[in-house]
């Protein structure tokens, strides 16, 4: 199973101006650095929580069709864009929507409702394309935005991963803010 980003988010859930206000930075000398820190913080929060903050397209590639409920690795899911299997000629063939049931949102999952066509390649023969993320920055929960702000501030102030007195750590407050959005699976 592999997960590939097809289309990254067009914007971040926190504006540069909001992060600069949080950091109490009033000049524009470090805008490039602060933007980089912002993007890194958003991606870290998303990765830590199995989340997508802003709309982005992903492809989940499987070796075979699911035989039971398949939980998608990101949430929330806004839309299921395509489900296909690769045929003998190497072309994707759409799987009929009547052959699966999908639950979007959280937790996102697909359950087969009938037998899917067999993929020709033994590896990576099933593709599930979906759009993950909240509708826009206003829809992103405030706790996640606060996690981004706190982590970005931590990264901005602690620019080295390790040093004589410093070892990189993920701030516990950020983990606490992300925790309600993580999906626990057994």
Taking 80 as the threshold, does the pLDDT of residue 185 lie above it? no
Question: Which range in 12-16, 63-67, 100-104 is most confidently predicted, on average pLDDT?
Answer: 12-16
Model pLDDT, residue 130: 97
Model pLDDT, residue 171: 82
Alpha helices in 4-141 (DSSP H): 16-23, 31-49
Model pLDDT, residue 66: 92
Taking 80 as the threshold, does the pLDDT of residue 168 lie above it? no
Does domain 2-53+136-181 fall into CATH 1.10.3720.10?
no
- Could you report the per-residue pLDDT of 15-51, keeping only the tens digit for each? 999 999 999 999 999 999 999 999 999 999 999 999 9
Q: Distance (Å, rounded) from C-alpha 78 to C-alpha 130?
A: 8
Model pLDDT, residue 162: 58
Model pLDDT, residue 48: 93
Is the CB of residue 55 less than 8 Å from the CB of residue 13? no
Nearest residue to 128 via CA among 101, 99, 151, 95: 95
Is the CB of residue 111 less than 8 Å from the CB of residue 101? yes
Nearest residue to 5 via CA among 43, 48, 45: 43
79-83's contacts with Cβ under 8 Å and 24+ in sequence apart are: 79/104, 79/130, 79/131, 80/104, 80/110, 80/128, 80/129, 80/130, 81/57, 81/129, 81/130, 81/131, 82/127, 82/128, 82/129, 83/110, 83/126, 83/127, 83/128, 83/129
Q: Distance (Å, rounded) from C-alpha 71 to C-alpha 92?
A: 22
Q: Distance (Å, rounded) from C-alpha 171 to C-alpha 148?
A: 11
Q: Distance (Å, rounded) from C-alpha 45 to C-alpha 174?
A: 8
SS3 62: strand
């Amino acid at each position: 199973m592999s997960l590939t980003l097809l289309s990254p988010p067009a914007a971040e859930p926190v504006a540069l101006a909001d992060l600069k206000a949080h950091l109490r930075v009033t000049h524009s000398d470090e805008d490039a650095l602060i933007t980089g820190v912002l993007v890194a913080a958003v991606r870290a929060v998303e990765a830590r929580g199995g989340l997508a903050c802003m709309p982005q397209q992903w492809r989940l590639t499987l070796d075979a069709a699911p035989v039971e409920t398949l939980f998608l690795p990101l949430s929330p899911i806004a839309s299921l864009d395509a489900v296909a299997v690769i045929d003998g000629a190497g072309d994707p063939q759409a799987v009929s929507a009547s052959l699966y049931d999908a639950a979007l949102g959280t937790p996102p999952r697909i359950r087969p409702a009938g037998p899917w066509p067999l993929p020709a390649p033994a590896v990576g023969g099933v593709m599930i394309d979906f759009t993950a993320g909240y509708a826009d920055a206003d829809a992103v929960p405030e706790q996640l935005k606060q996690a981004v702000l706190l982590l970005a501030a931590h990264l901005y102030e602690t620019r080295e991963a390790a040093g004589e007195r410093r070892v990189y750590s993920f701030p516990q407050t950020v983990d606490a803010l992300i925790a309600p959005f993580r999906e626990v699976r057994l």
